Amino acid sequence: MDMSVESLETPALTKAQLSDLLFEQIGLNKRESKDMIDAFFDLISGSLVDGNDVKISGFGNFQIRTKAPRPGRNPRTGEAIPIKARRVVTFHASHKLKEQIQEECRPLSILQPPTSSF
CB neighbours of 57 closer than 8 A, spacing ≥ 6? 94
Q: Residue 28: what pLDDT? A: 87
Determine contact, residues 64/46, Cβ cutoff 8 Å. Answer: no
Pair 20, 38 in one domain:
yes
CATH number at residue 17: 4.10.520.10
Question: Using an 8 Å Cβ cutoff, are 73 and 83 in contact?
Answer: no
In a domain, 118, yes or no: no
Residues 65 and 91 in one domain: yes
What's the domain count of the chain? 2
Convert the pLDDT of each residue in 64-116 to its tens digit: 999 999 999 999 999 999 999 999 999 999 999 999 999 877 665 545 555 54
List the one residue out of 103, 93, 21, 84 whose CA is nearest residue 62.
93
Q: Contacts from 1-10 at CB under 8 Å and sequence distance 24+?
A: 1/25, 1/26
Say how far apart CA 66 and CA 70 lie, in whole Å.
Answer: 12
75, 104: one domain: yes
Q: Please tell me which residue, 84 or 9, carries the higher pLDDT value.
A: 84
**By residue range, what is the domain housing residue 17?**
13-52
User: What is the arithmetic mean of pLDDT over 20-28?
Assistant: 90
- Please state the pTM of the whole predicted model: 0.68
- pLDDT of 118: 45
